[in-house]
């Protein structure tokens, strides 16, 4: 399996939250939003349904789908998490519907929390995620992880890890 995280890999969670709050959010993984700010996001009850696509999200998925079509033993899946307190009742539905809008052929799996993602790992499975702790847990469980920062970095990593060149993937169309 190749699992792809949704928030801040495919869907622009941070940018949407920053626009809503009117300021930048710390990228420090230990930083948590103050409860007043989290409440403002929660008040946008359909927040996850309206997230814009991240730049190059379609490129990442197109690359992976071409790879999947050429390798019968590979399946793609989204692996996402619920908000930390499971306090947004529409999150499950809206994340699935968001994926159906943009990438309808890929199933959606839930951690359900970010810290639970590693439980989906079978030896050798790949996880592409923007959270370092998820990658470290995944690798401890026997998987292969990539800390997503940009499509360009991810593409190079995929080529090296899967031992295939961009030209080969493009030729598979």
pLDDT of the residue at 131: 93
pTM value? Answer: 0.92
Count of Cβ atoms closer than 10 Å to residue 135 Cβ: 22
All domains of the chain, ordered by start, with CATH? Answer: 2-12+52-171 (3.40.50.1000)
Residue 18 has pLDDT above 90, yes or no: yes
For the segment 162-168, the average pLDDT, to the nearest whole number, is 75
Q: What integer pLDDT is reported at residue 17 of this predicted model? A: 95
Write out the H or E segment, with its range, that includes residue 76. Answer: strand 76-80
Confidence of residue 145 (pLDDT cuts 50, 70, 90): very high
pLDDT at 171 over 70: no
* pLDDT of residue 169 exceeding 80: no
CA 99/CA 45 separation, integer angstroms: 17
pLDDT class of 57 with cuts at 50, 70, 90: very high
| Cα–Cα distances in angstroms (integers) from residue 139 to residues 54, 74, 96, 144, in the given order | 25, 18, 26, 6
């Amino acid at each position: 399996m190749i699992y792809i995280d949704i928030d801040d890999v495919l869907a622009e969670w941070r940018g949407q939250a920053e626009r809503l709050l009117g300021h930048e959010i710390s990228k420090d993984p230990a930083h948590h939003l103050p409860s007043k700010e989290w409440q403002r996001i929660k008040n946008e009850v359909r927040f996850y349904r309206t997230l814009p696509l991240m730049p190059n999200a379609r490129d990442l998925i197109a690359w992976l789908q071409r790879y999947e079509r050429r390798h019968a033993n590979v399946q793609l899946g989204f692996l996402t998490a619920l908000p930390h307190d499971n306090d947004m009742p529409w999150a499950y539905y809206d994340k699935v519907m968001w994926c159906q809008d943009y990438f309808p052929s890929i199933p959606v799996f839930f951690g359900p929390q970010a810290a639970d993602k590693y439980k989906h790992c079978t030896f050798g499975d790949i996880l592409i995620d923007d959270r370092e702790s998820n990658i470290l847990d995944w690798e401890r469980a026997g998987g292969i992880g990539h800390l997503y920062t940009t499509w360009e970095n991810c593409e190079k990593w995929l080529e090296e890890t899967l031992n295939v060149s961009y030209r080969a993937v493009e030729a598979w169309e």
